[in-house]
Structures are given as structure tokens and as C-alpha cells.
Amino acid sequence: MAAIYSLYIINKSGGLIFYKDYGSAGRMDTNDSLRLASLWHSMHAISQQLSPVSGCSGIELLQADTFDLHCFQSLTGTKFFVVCEPGTLHMESLLKHIYELYTDYVLKNPFYEMEMPIRCELFDINLAQAVQKDRVALLGR
Amino acid sequence: MIGVGKIKQYTNVLDRPLSKGKQEVSLSAFAFLFSELVQYNQTQVDNIAELERRLEDAGYAVGARVLELLCHREKGNRRETRLLGILSFIHSTVWKVLFGKVADSLEKGTEHEDEYMISEKELLLNRFISIPKDMGAFNCGAFVAGIVKGVLDNAGFPAVVTAHFVPVDGQQRPRTTILIKFAEEVLQREARLG
């Protein structure tokens, strides 16, 4: 029933710095998730080059038969993307909110090293709350 | 912006009254500055106890200045001379000026006569900070402990002040307790004063 399958955060050079699985469907091992993250990083970059529109900022939404992939890129090149059930709404605002949590609980943490995997307790706690809230909102509809 | 729209303009900074001024600064700006302070000190030390000590030293200087300023601004140039007086001064006046709120609680230690504790459910300093597992019981509240020590020392109450995480039942996050252990002479003096 989970609307969100998984969440990824990749740094500006395409390395996976955060990965979280929410659904039971499409569970992946560490190697696969790393591969997928760098693959998405490259595809995102290529799409910017190939786009007929100038000033294109890359893929924001990828729709497939079995999932939607919403991507948000911050100004510094860090990419946040969620894989979710097709047709799930409000993913842009969720991604923005996750970005906010990242700037608060990861970047303001003196023990976090830039571009390295995120291991911050407070980020995990607040992220879990945000996703939970999103699910509750979904059930309420 | 000081003096804008006011009747009297002070050209010399020393002529200005020691007013309260703008009470708040950006929490983000502070968080980044503090984060940088911790990161810098981390490069200068090779163990956690040393890092704690350096943060405490940084706080000590703040405490000494805060005492001076608040005695003048809030107390009309009077300073607390009794133990409970200075503790409640820290708990309410100092805390309010530094963190915008009174500290959650001020308690007397149950085991020792010379111990007092100021507890805070979520210390402002620690709002964005997650301590990595390998750093054990380290608490960035050492900086606040330093502030408290600075105030106490300069008010004539020498004490050893430390910051600790204390787990709370039913809460995901531990609270921070600032443990104050007064020097023997302070308690003797208090006893004499009655």
C-alpha cells in the first residue's frame, strides 16, 4: 500500500549518499542502489544536453507503467529523488521538504562531511516523520 | 540601523546607551557558525576529552562577558552573591537572553549537597546536531557548560560544570543536563552566611 517505494539522495558527482526503502516491492541490494543512483545521475546530465529547450534543468518526472520517479535538483547539484506508485501526488512538495530537512539536519551538523554518506540520527527521525505525515495525508483522501 | 528614526543620534559608539537592541539573531547563521567552531576545534585535537575542553573554554569567555553585561543591563549594576540567587539568575536571566527562553528545570542533586543541575529538553545548540556513534557520550553542550562556568567563576562561585545526555522515558531523544559541582569554599561560605 506504500505510495513511496524508495528515496535516494545523490551528491554532485553522482555518488549515492542516502538511500531508504519504504515499500516491499522493488527492494534492492546496496550495489544495485548505487548503480541506479549513478545511472540516474548520468541520464539526468544527458537529458540536459539533449533537450531542445535551452536552459533545461534535467528530468523532473519519469513515468513508467509500474512507478513514477520524481527528481529534484538543488542549486548545488545535489539530487533528491523518490520512486513512488504511479499517479502519486504532492511529490514535489515532499522533495522540497526533504531538501529542507537535509539543509537543517545534515548541513548544519558539524560531524557531517560534505559529499559523504549521510549518517545523522536527527535527519532519519525527521525524515521518517515527514514520510509518515505524507502517508497519513494520503490515507485521509 | 541603530539610531535610525530616533530623536537622538549618537555619533560616537561609546555614547550610545547599552540598550537591549535587537533581541534575536538568525538561528541558521548561528548554527553554521557553531558548526564551524566545532569543526575547527576538531582539527586541533586528537581526543574527545580535549575537544570538550576546548568548547568549554570557548563558552567560558562568553559566560564572563554575559555576566558583566547582564548585571549592568538587568540588575542595575548589582550582582547576585548567594548560591540560589546566582543559579536562578543563570536559569532565567542568562538563559532567556542567550536562548530566548527560561531553562526547562533547575534541580538540586539528590546524591551530593554541592551538585545542581540545569536540564533542557532540547538544547538550542544541539537542535541540528547528531553525535556519531563512535564519539560516545560527547555532547556539544560542553559549550553551554563553559558559559555557565564562566558566569559562576566570575561571580565568585568557582565550580566544575559538565554537560551530559540523559535518556528520558518515552522520548526518542535524550535531554541535556548541565551538571554544576561547586567548590568546597562556596558551600562553606554559604553555610556561614546562613
State how far the alpha carbon of B136 is from the alpha carbons of A24, A135, B130, B164, in Å.
34, 34, 12, 11
Mean pLDDT of B11-31: 79
What's the CATH number for B27-193? 3.30.1380.20
B125: exposed, middle or buried (C-beta count within 10 Å: 0-12, 13-18, 19+)?
buried
Confidence (pLDDT) at B1? 38
pLDDT tens across B70-127, in order?
998 888 888 889 999 999 999 999 999 999 899 999 999 888 889 999 999 999 999 9
CB contact A108 to B (< 8 Å) = yes
Quote the minimal CA–CA distance from A41 to chain B in Å: 28
Alpha carbons B62 and B65: distance in angstroms, whole number: 5
Q: Does B10 touch chain A (CB under 8 A)?
A: no
ipTM for this prediction: 0.84
pLDDT tens digits, one per residue of A87-108:
888 899 999 999 999 999 999 9
For chain A, domains (ranges, CATH) are 4-140 (3.30.450.70)
B172: pLDDT confidence band, cut at 50, 70 and 90? confident
- In which residue ranges of chain A is pLDDT below 70? 1-2, 24-26, 138-141
Cα distances from B114 to residues A15, A46, B14, B145, in angstroms, run: 53, 68, 41, 16
Sheet holding B175-182, edge to edge: B105-108, B115-120, B175-182, B159-166
Residue type for position B1: M
For the cut 70, the answer to whether the pLDDT of residue B146 exceeds it is yes
Interface size between A and B, measured as CB pairs under 8 A: 39
Say if A32 is an interface residue toward chain B (CB within 8 Å): no
Q: Judge whether B140 is closer than 8 Å to chain A, CB to CB.
A: yes
Question: Residues 6 or more apart from B40 whose CB is under 8 A from it?
Answer: none
Q: Do A111 and B36 touch (CB under 8 A)?
A: no
More confident residue, B191 or B1: B191
Best of B52, B129, B131, B165 to mutate (most A CBs within 10 Å, chain A): B129
Model's pTM, two decimal places? 0.85
Assess contact for A4 and A23: CB atoms under 8 A: yes
In the predicted model, is pLDDT for residue B6 greater than 60?
Answer: no
